[in-house]
Amino acid sequence: MKVSGTRVLLFSDGELIAYQRGLTIDASVNLPDATDKESGGWEEHIHGMRNATVSFDALYSTEGLSADALIELIRSRPDLMMCINGLSATSFRPIIGLVNLDSVSLNAPIEEAMAVSGSMKVNGELFRISAAPAINNLRVYTNYNTFVTDLTVTGLTADVASPSGVKRADSNLLSVTTEGEVMFLCSLKLNSGQLPTVEIAEYQGGDAISNVVTLQPGGNAARLKATSTQAAAVITIRNTAATNFELRSVWGLKK
């Protein structure tokens, strides 16, 4: 099925880069030379480091993730959660990963619309979603606001007012095996209070059955490794003190 590039857009920390005109992603692998005297005159190589970059072109804007906001990202140097996704009614499978914005350029030609362009360098692994993600909704408990169910598009928010007790949100059920991995990716904006944690846990408020990772402001890629086999496990976001945070572009990927 053909896919119109017009309907494939770049999001940074869950926010659309405004008025996009073009988008390119380049992925490559370094091929170090491994030729020797027994190669028969043919060059040989081994597989080395992989890397990827994303470049974009857009009209200058004061709305959404604007030109000013992009320049501020250069100044503040945060990790970002990048998602290249298709709008509704497309067969495009998302591409996601942690990135750093490494350049922003403004172009102001005479009698033409101003433009902004830039590039992002992928920091770590690049993920191409070829099947439904492991997380497709979150159930909420104890003073969490209602979470939206379509995490891949609109993200979610949480607001915990009470300073005591454990507050949590659980994903849909998923099965895990000992040493099995789930990658939890998201963008976190902490407005106040405690940073939340994420883990694989037993169903219905059970204990953690993986390492526990404290989410950090900006892009997160938490590698959760199960310590036991469970046919009914959940991804759990927790906090034990007052907090106000927002999660966007939330993905759970079984490896």
Q: What is the CATH number of the domain that holds 185?
A: 2.60.120.260
Q: Indicate whether 122 and 168 sit together in one domain.
A: no
130: exposed, middle or buried (Cβ count in 10 Å: 0-12, 13-18, 19+): exposed
Give pLDDT, residue 84. 86
Please, what sign has the CA dihedral across residues 178, 184, 189, 191? Answer: negative
Q: What is the domain count for the chain?
A: 2
**Residue pair 99/70 in contact by the 8 Å Cβ criterion:** no
Domain boundary among 128, 148, 176: 128
Question: What whole-number distance in Å separates Cα of residue 76 and Cα of residue 173?
Answer: 38
Give pLDDT, residue 144. 40
- Distance of CA 4 to CAs 1, 7, 86, 95, Å? 10, 6, 9, 16
| CATH of residue 63 | 2.40.30
Domain that holds residue 219: 138-254
Backbone dihedral region for residue 73 (phi beyond 0: left; psi -120 to 50: alpha; all else: beta): alpha
Give pLDDT, residue 116. 94
Query: What is the helix, strand, coil percentage profile of the chain, to 5?
Result: 5, 50, 40
Average pLDDT per 10 consecutive residues for the chain, totaling 255 residues: 77 86 94 94 95 95 86 92 74 84 94 94 87 57 36 36 57 87 86 87 85 93 93 86 78 80
Does some domain include residue 133?
no
Residue with tokens 């920390």: 13
pTM above 0.75, yes or no: yes
Q: Indicate whether 18 and 38 sit together in one domain.
A: yes
Other residues' Cβ atoms within 10 Å of the Cβ of residue 223: 15
Find all residues with CB under 8 Å of 210, minimum gap 6, and list them: 176, 182, 199, 200, 201, 224, 225, 226, 227
Domain boundary among 110, 128, 146: 128
